Structure 1
């Protein structure tokens, strides 16, 4: 029986707290037009629908781009409105629009809640720009580090290693690792007292921050056999001894383990470093023999063992 009882069909779900979204390219402009309606309830429904559309990848850019042509949304909804700016497309649209200037006016708004949300957004944008600049500097320094070094790059980047934002710490440590591959930069890292800061980052909660810091130390200790270089040895050994049961998490730590092994190999070339590492030889051997161990890590561990056990 192919007959269909229309009464049994499920009706379209209509959320009374949302404004209906029309079809076609004029749907989003229509919602923005409702934001200036005198009816407060209608404005809130339109804003709720726009916030929902920012989670649609196909409409996100259009929502943000269209929104920059209108005045800033009601301050009570500012927090919801700014959430989608965490998306890359929305950030690009926001950077190319005059909306940031309007947001700056909200810093003096009478409402404490509005001021708090506006300050939070401004801080996020500033941190994003700093992380992007550091990432760009890191890429450029891999090709030619001389321009960065001639403009006090080690000192300026070193100040960002202790930033509260993990993204900035990660990019700063990555830029420092890119710079420290040449001898001049290695010397500047030592002279600017950057090594102690990098050592502190080895205990960071972000694995990528730890890996980049270990990479910078790996490059620098090639010329450094002083007291501090040996002081960082226990931390590197601790990182080497840590293992994660999760395969993916252990794979994320691969760069960290490799850089730690190579740093230990350089430290073993100093007599005191070799003496201390001989006491930890079982740990190094344990990383060089198991077949289930990553091949690159086994190779780096065997090199470390050979250097530590070398005798004239």
Structure 2
């Protein structure tokens, strides 16, 4: 005689860690409700499901297009960004981490970055860099990186430069690298360069030129190249010249390139030019560097250093 047996196992194509998506336009509203659930597992499953669909750029683009009638950012901002940001204070670290990761994935799309800025999350993200778990800090640094590429105003207003500076001495290599990268991003506008000098960021950046990790050295040199464009930055960074000269033969092309750019800026000041004249022959050898960008940067550096009024 046949018996009906109900298995305790999920079907092979069902993932119990992710929420089931509603069909079509109902997907986001349902996820929004579940993100605000009082039940931890429901919140976790909603975030995991959302993280999955945010890996698909077509979904994000479609979401943005659907919001055109009420503004291109409306749907992404109010149905994704704001609900996710409300989970930044969740008592469960896994919920906070996944919420930050989802926001970071949204920031990779320029409309997502704009939405994050308009939702006034930059001050919250900068503050969370001082309190959050180290692994979540890495995610936040990436989110801010994409936002800074759009606009640096909010980050400068909440003193992000000081927060990034403190992370330059972090024990995690990746944290030091991303902090230096974000300082470079923040130093693109004049106000950022001035703030970097005022906050004495040049000193820890100079120390990172000797970091064991090449990517850290590259970002530190890149940040110095950006800051030394202004006169105050040049005169504050003369102590970095010898370390930058050592980096022009670094095995990583990004390090060589950024070091050359920084040296070029420093040589625009008479004191910097005099200090670098003894290194012209070494720099001339880099004109034939296998990486064209490095060769071009070396050529420009030599011209600036040997320039006569």
Measured against the shorter chain, the TM-score band is 0.5 to 0.7
Provide closer, same or farther for how the CA distance between residues 286 and 133 of structure 1 changes in structure 2, counting only shifts above 3 A. same
The alpha carbon displacement at 1:308 in A equals 0.6
What residue in structure 1 maps to residue 205 of structure 2?
A: 198
Contact 1:203–1:210 (CA under 8 A) maintained in structure 2: yes
Task: Give the whole-Å Cα distance in 2 for the aligned partners of 1:133 and 1:185.
Answer: 20
The alpha carbon displacement at 1:289 in A equals 3.1
Contact 2:288–2:295 (CA under 8 A) maintained in structure 1: yes
Contact 2:193–2:233 (CA under 8 A) maintained in structure 1: no
Task: Give the whole-Å Cα distance in 2 for the aligned partners of 1:270 and 1:297.
Answer: 22
Spell out the pairing of 1:1-312 with structure 2 (5 A cutoff).
62=15, 100=92, 126-223=133-230, 224=232, 228-243=236-251, 253-289=252-288, 293-312=290-309
CA-based RMSD: 3.4
Provide closer, same or farther for how the CA distance between residues 286 and 150 of structure 1 changes in structure 2, counting only shifts above 3 A. same
Provide closer, same or farther for how the CA distance between residues 289 and 241 of structure 1 changes in structure 2, counting only shifts above 3 A. same
* Count of residue pairs brought into register by the alignment: 205
Secondary structure of 2:149's counterpart equals helix
The alpha carbon displacement at 1:241 in A equals 2.6
Task: Give the whole-Å Cα distance in 1 for the aligned partners of 2:280 and 2:168.
Answer: 32
Per-residue CA distance 1:176-213 (angstroms, 9 max, x = gap): 11000111111111111111111111112222221111
TM-score scaled by length of structure 1? 0.58
Provide closer, same or farther for how the CA distance between residues 237 and 195 of structure 1 changes in structure 2, counting only shifts above 3 A. same
Provide closer, same or farther for how the CA distance between residues 226 and 301 of structure 1 changes in structure 2, counting only shifts above 3 A. closer
Task: Give the whole-Å Cα distance in 2 for the aligned partners of 1:296 and 1:209.
Answer: 20
Provide closer, same or farther for how the CA distance between residues 153 and 62 of structure 1 changes in structure 2, counting only shifts above 3 A. same
Secondary structure of 2:303's counterpart equals helix
Task: Give the whole-Å Cα distance in 1 for the aligned partners of 2:257 and 2:227.
Answer: 15
Per-residue CA distance 1:68-125 (angstroms, 9 max, x = gap): 97xxxxxxxxxxxxxxxxxx98xx9xx99x99579xxxxxxxxxxxxxxxxxxxxxx9
Q: Who wins on radius of gyration, i.e. which is larger?
A: 1
TM-score scaled by length of structure 2? 0.58
Task: Give the whole-Å Cα distance in 2 for the aligned partners of 1:303 and 1:151.
Answer: 37
Contact 1:28–1:63 (CA under 8 A) maintained in structure 2: no
